Amino acid sequence: MNIEFFRSVAARLAVLCLGGLSALGVQANQPLSLAQALERTLAFNPTLSQYPYQLRELEAQRLQAGLRPNPNLSIELENVLGSGQNQGIDNADLTLSFSQLIELGDKRQMRVNKQDHALQQQNAQYEWDRLRVLAETTKRFYQVLNWQQLREWNRQRIQKITESLNIIRVRAAAGAVSDADVSRMAYRLAEVELEQQGFDSEFHNARYQLSQQWLQSPDFDALQGDIRVLPASPSLLRLEQAVNDAPELLLLQQQYALEQTSLRLAQANGKADVTLDAGLRYSRSGSDGALVFGLSMPLNLNNPNQGNIDAARARLDGVSFAQAQLRQALRSQVKALAHQERRARERVSQLDRQLLPQAQKLLVSTRAGYQHGQISVLQLLDAQEVLFNAQRQLIEAHFAVFDALLNMQRLTGQPLIEA
């Protein structure tokens, strides 16, 4: 990433802000896709929107770092307002001189190098913040998608229980079952309908949490996507290799390079500079003129910047130690998340292939037994709940796979879930 990239981002932000969300091609009350959510986040997220202005500040600091010291003009008048022959200004000596500070130790280039590394660190910081912000948007997107799936699942519960209630009412009217069975099933339907209100509330809250990523109120009522469609599982070798290029680790590498240039600048600042003087002296008493030259420099008996040099070395060692710790922590976290992701996939497989088919068979046989008077209404309700719980566990297992993948994607910077 370079300076031109940030400038293009700033120009794009200006166009989008003038055009509003319609510039992103998203119509109100239409299902929102993950790609659209990410594009809105890139355009309007407050964290990312500050980077073009921070870039301008760093460019100005680099300009300042490259400026050379200006020359000094001095005027000196001697032998005036004294006594004897030096009374008044008749015998005054006038000296007009220019002085220029000559920086030694390549200080100017060191300052410029430090600002160049600061710009590179800013690029790495932007990449890290961009990844974190987009990962958070993706996570909130799938949270909304999860609640959307649960809402639909609960609607199906209501539909199935309503169908069972209608059957029981018909049988009760024929005298085959008691009115207590009707009341028990009606009570269960009321409970599930009340749960639907909770799911609706969680879904709408999650919508607002998602839209806060681009500081807008939600203008969508649904999301495009299905968490039942799982992405491919990344190999452990791929994840371990990706740790070395993790954005957070690259950010520390840029910080290490910046601290190296800070150390070199501190060492350069410990070297004495030279001041050159040149001018013209005019003596009024003798009406004579002459050139004058001078050279001055401090006597650095001790390094005047030794404390700053030691501090820069300490910061450099601290960043190096932090790099080693972070690399080990990332490897450990990625391995743990990969284990969670595999366990979640195994749970999805078990639920889909074993528990759900068995729960469906149980409900079919229980309904048949109830119609023949062999099963009570409570047993029918239990059989329904067994199937419903298995379906909900499957939804939650799918979401657990996505959650683990999203966390691995945030840590490694690898696109494990495509938009």
Q: What is the pLDDT of residues 216-255, one digit of tens each?
A: 999 999 999 888 889 898 888 888 888 888 989 999 999 9
Give me the mean pLDDT over the 274-296 stretch: 83
Give me the pLDDT at residue 29, please: 63
Give me the mean pLDDT over the 389-403 stretch: 95
Three-state SS for the chain is: CCHHHHHHHHHHHHHHHHHCHHHHCCCCCCCECHHHHHHHHHHHCHHHHCHHHHHHHHHHHHHHHCCCCCCEEEEEEECCCCCHHHCCCCCCEEEEEEEEEECCCCHHHHHHHHHHHHHHHHHHHHHHHHHHHHHHHHHHHHHHHHHHHHHHHHHHHHHHHHHHHHHHHHHHHCCCCCHHHHHHHHHHHHHHHHHHHHHHHHHHHHHHHHHHHHCCCCCCCCECCCCCCCCCCCCHHHHHHHHCCCHHHHHHHHHHHHHHHHHHHHHHHCCCCEEEEEEEEEECCCCEEEEEEEEECCCCCCCCCHHHHHHHHHHHHHHHHHHHHHHHHHHHHHHHHHHHHHHHHHHHHHHHHHHHHHHHHHHHHHHHHHHCCCCCHHHHHHHHHHHHHHHHHHHHHHHHHHHHHHHHHHHHCCCCCCC
Give me the pLDDT at residue 6, please: 44
Confidence of residue 25 (pLDDT cuts 50, 70, 90): very low
Mind listing the pLDDT tens digit for each residue in 170-183?
A: 888 888 888 898 99
Give me the mean pLDDT over the 78-102 stretch: 76
Measured between alpha carbons, how far is 16 from 30 in angstroms, rounded to an integer?
Answer: 20
Ranges 10-14, 18-22, 348-352, most confident: 348-352
CB distance 80 to 89 below 8 Å = yes
Give me the mean pLDDT over the 22-51 stretch: 81
Give me the pLDDT at residue 5, please: 45
Average pLDDT in the chain: 87
- Least confident range of 61-65, 131-135, 287-291: 287-291
Confidence of residue 34 (pLDDT cuts 50, 70, 90): very high
Say if residue 260's pLDDT is above 90: yes
Measured between alpha carbons, how far is 178 from 181 in angstroms, rounded to an integer?
Answer: 6
Give me the pLDDT at residue 16, please: 44
CA distances from 252 to 203, 244, 296, 313 (A): 38, 12, 42, 16
End-to-end CA distance of the chain: 22
Beta bridge partners of 278: 98, 293
Give me the mean pLDDT over the 333-342 stretch: 94
Confidence of residue 88 (pLDDT cuts 50, 70, 90): low
Confidence of residue 76 (pLDDT cuts 50, 70, 90): confident
Give me the pLDDT at residue 98, please: 92
CB distance 185 to 370 below 8 Å = no
Give me the pLDDT at residue 377, please: 87
Pairing of strands 274-283, 288-296: antiparallel
How far from the centroid of its chain's Cα atoms is residue 398's Cα? 25
b/e 374-396 (16+ beta carbons within 10 angstroms → b): ebebeebbebbbbbbebbbbbbb
Give me the pLDDT at residue 195, please: 95
Q: Which fold has domain 3-68+103-270+305-412?
A: Outer membrane efflux proteins (OEP) (1.20.1600)
Give me the pLDDT at residue 419, please: 66
Mind listing the pLDDT tens digit for each residue in 124-168?
A: 999 899 999 999 999 999 999 999 999 999 999 999 999 989 988
Give me the pLDDT at residue 175, please: 83
Ordered strands of the 288-296 beta sheet: 72-78, 93-102, 274-283, 288-296
Give me the mean pLDDT over the 276-280 stretch: 91
Measured between alpha carbons, how far is 360 from 367 in angstroms, rounded to an integer?
Answer: 11
CA distances from 105 to 255, 273, 301 (A): 23, 8, 17
Say if residue 328's pLDDT is above 90: yes
- CA angle 95–100–103, rounded 5-degree value: 155
Percentage above 70 pLDDT, the chain: 89
CA distances from 138 to 101, 103, 115, 392, 407 (A): 56, 52, 34, 22, 10
Closest to 267 in 3D by CA, of 331, 330, 310, 322: 310
- The reported pTM is 0.80
Measured between alpha carbons, how far is 26 from 32 in angstroms, rounded to an integer?
Answer: 8
Mind listing the pLDDT tens digit for each residue in 108-119?
A: 999 999 999 999
| Phi, psi at 25, each rounded to 5° | 75, 25
Give me the pLDDT at residue 84, please: 60
Quick one: residue 207, left, alpha or beta (phi over 0 = left, psi -120 to 50 = alpha)? alpha
Closest to 404 in 3D by CA, of 258, 254, 227: 227
